[in-house]
Structure 1
Amino acid sequence: MFGDYSIGDLGSIFVMQGFAGLILFSVYVLMALGLAIIFGQMGVINMAHGEFMILGAYVTWMTSNFFQSYLPSLFSGYFFLAMILAFVASGALGMLVEWVLIRHLYKRPLDTLLATWGLSLMLQQAYRSVFGAREVGVELPQWMLGSLHVTDSIEVPINGVFVMCLTVLITLGVAYVMYKSRWGRQVRAVVQNRIMAGAVGINTEKVDRYTYGLGCGIAGIAGSAFTMIGSTGPTSGQLYIVDTFLVVVFGGAASLLGTIASAFSISQTQSTLEFFMSGSMAKVLTLLAVVGILMLRPQGLFALKVRK
């Protein structure tokens, strides 16, 4: 597999694929952060998580078109507003879904799996009816185009660097909210002992709703980032949902550090293997490696101890 390349070529390949893996890592982290909050904190298997991501992508696409048509002078900064709107739209839809559907299914994980799978099909059809079956692409501002020349043989795209910086900021924000804010302490209290949290005056239903909304809102931001590296279609979210669940389970449910470490490991392994073999074979080998590790450590890389 490596015999046809010189040492210098292999070094350049590993660096380029490593950076490509970092871009994939960024999307995985943004997707997995929201899913880890919903699955890890609430025990809800949200199979519609990819559709919340695609909602954020479509909101970004509509915002891009609006600025191009009506505010071309401000087009260079449209993405920042689009990201906020994507968070609000996906988060609001998530809170509505929690109130209408999910709150009736707590402690019934298989039922939440089937219900959210049905929801994902409904959202896919809704996107197909509203936006059409064809994939759409977002026009990037001029300052996001091009690449940075690291060496003569290594270039990194500017939009990829932006996505990674965005991921770092969102991750730090989520960490602050979950571990430093009053609301984050309430969430962790509900996870560790729901009955006692309710006994001391915490509105557990409200915490659940806002937690679900936050997880879906982060998925919307992931959708905004996704528009920079791929086209958006009604079923695009399903391409990432399995990998995202794999990241969350491998890292350890409810563990922010585990989610980041898992996303980095899986994205780098998959990106490097894809250069030397087919994409499907790279996914198979990555999955086999993860399954093997989970057989030795079923609780994931970083397990959170909770009081039952």
Structure 2
Amino acid sequence: MFSDYTATELGSIFAMQGFAGLILFAVFLLMALGLAIIFGQMGVINMAHGEFMILGAYMTYLTSNLFAEYLPGLFDAYFFVAIVVAFLASAALGAFVEWAMIRRLYHRPLDTLLATWGLSLLMQQSYRSIFGAREVGVRIPDWMAGSFPVTDIVELPINGLIVMIIAISVTFGVYLLMFKSSWGRRVRAVVQNRPMAGAVGINTVKVDRMTFALGCGIAGIAGSAFTMIGSTGPSAGQQYIVDTFLVVVFGGAASLLGTVASAFSISQAQSTMEFFLGGSMAKVLTLMTVVIILMVRPQGLFTLKVRK
């Protein structure tokens, strides 16, 4: 596999795939953050998480078109507005879904899996009816085009760098929210001991709804970032849902550090192996490796101690 390349060529290949893996890491991280919050606290298996990501992507697409048509002078700033719109739209829909469906299915994980899978199919068909079956793309602002030369061979795309900055910023924001705010303390109290949290006056119903909305909103931000590196279609979210669950389980549910470490490990492994072995084989080997590690450490890379 490596014998056909010189040492210099291998170094360049690993560097290029490493940077490509960082962009994939950013998308995995944003997707997994939202899913880890939902699954870690509520135990809900949200199979429609990818569709919430695509909702954020479509909101970015609409915002791009609106700015191009009505505010062309401010087009270079549309992406920052689109991130906010994507978050609010996905979070609002997430809050509605929790109120209308999810709250009736707590402590029934298989039922939530089937219900959210049906929701994902419904959302995909809605996207086809509204936006059409063909994939759409957004026009990148001029300042996000091009790349930074790292070496004579390796270049870092500016839009990929922006996606990584977004992922790091959102991760830091989630850390502050979960560990440095009163709302985060309420969330962690519910995770550790729901009956006791309710007994001391914490509105667990409101915490659940806001948590589900936050997780879906972060998925919307992931969709907004996704438009910078790929085109958007009704079923594009399904390409990432399996990898996202893999990241969450491998890192350890409810562990922020585990989510970051898992997303980085899986994205780098897939990106490097795809170059030498192809996409399908890379996914198979990555999955086999994760399964073997989980057989030895079923709780994942990191765990959260809770009171029983």
- Normalized against structure 1, the TM-score is what? 1.00
- 1:302: which partner in 2? 302
CA distance in 1, matches of 2:285, 2:115: 31
CA offsets per residue over residues 230-271 of structure 1, 9 Å max, x none?
100000000000000000000000000000000000000000
- 1:179: which partner in 2? 179
- 2:230: which partner in 1? 230
- 1:56: which partner in 2? 56
Residue identity in the other structure for 1:168: I
Alignment of 1:133-172 (within 5 A): 133-172=133-172
Aligned residue for 2:148, secondary structure, equals strand
CA distance in 2, matches of 1:279, 1:169: 29
CA distance in 2, matches of 1:183, 1:250: 27
CA distance in 2, matches of 1:42, 1:13: 42
Aligned residue for 1:53, secondary structure, equals helix
- 2:279: which partner in 1? 279
CA distance in 1, matches of 2:210, 2:28: 22
CA distance in 1, matches of 2:9, 2:41: 45
CA offsets per residue over residues 17-66 of structure 1, 9 Å max, x none?
00000000000000000000000111000000000000000000000000
| Stretches of 4+ aligned residues off by more than 6 angstroms | none
Tell me the number of residue pairs that the alignment of Structure 1 and Structure 2 aligns: 308
Aligned residue for 2:249, secondary structure, equals helix
CA distance in 2, matches of 1:166, 1:12: 26
CA distance in 2, matches of 1:14, 1:41: 37
- 1:126: which partner in 2? 126
CA distance in 1, matches of 2:206, 2:153: 53
**Offset of residue 277 of structure 1:** 1.1
> Are residues 1:212 and 2:212 paired?
yes
CA distance in 1, matches of 2:65, 2:103: 36
Unaligned stretches of 5+ residues in structure 1: none
Residue identity in the other structure for 1:194: R
CA distance in 2, matches of 1:244, 1:151: 32
**Offset of residue 91 of structure 1:** 0.1
CA offsets per residue over residues 278-297 of structure 1, 9 Å max, x none?
10000000000000000000
**Offset of residue 150 of structure 1:** 1.1
CA distance in 2, matches of 1:154, 1:118: 43
Aligned residue for 1:136, secondary structure, equals coil
CA distance in 2, matches of 1:40, 1:203: 18
**Offset of residue 196 of structure 1:** 0.4
Aligned residue for 1:91, secondary structure, equals helix
Aligned residue for 2:136, secondary structure, equals coil
Aligned residue for 1:4, secondary structure, equals coil
- 1:255: which partner in 2? 255
> Are residues 1:100 and 2:74 paired?
no
Aligned residue for 1:305, secondary structure, equals coil
**Offset of residue 68 of structure 1:** 0.5
CA distance in 1, matches of 2:154, 2:7: 15
**Offset of residue 305 of structure 1:** 1.4
**Offset of residue 166 of structure 1:** 0.8
Unaligned stretches of 5+ residues in structure 2: none
**Offset of residue 3 of structure 1:** 0.5
- 1:188: which partner in 2? 188
Residue identity in the other structure for 1:301: L
CA distance in 2, matches of 1:40, 1:155: 37
CA offsets per residue over residues 145-204 of structure 1, 9 Å max, x none?
001111111111000011101111100000000001000000000010000000000000
- 1:27: which partner in 2? 27
CA offsets per residue over residues 79-136 of structure 1, 9 Å max, x none?
0000000000000000000000000000000000000000000000000000000000
RMSD of aligned Cα (Å)? 0.4
CA distance in 2, matches of 1:228, 1:152: 24
CA distance in 2, matches of 1:250, 1:271: 18
- 1:89: which partner in 2? 89
CA distance in 2, matches of 1:295, 1:8: 37
**Offset of residue 72 of structure 1:** 0.5
CA distance in 2, matches of 1:67, 1:98: 32
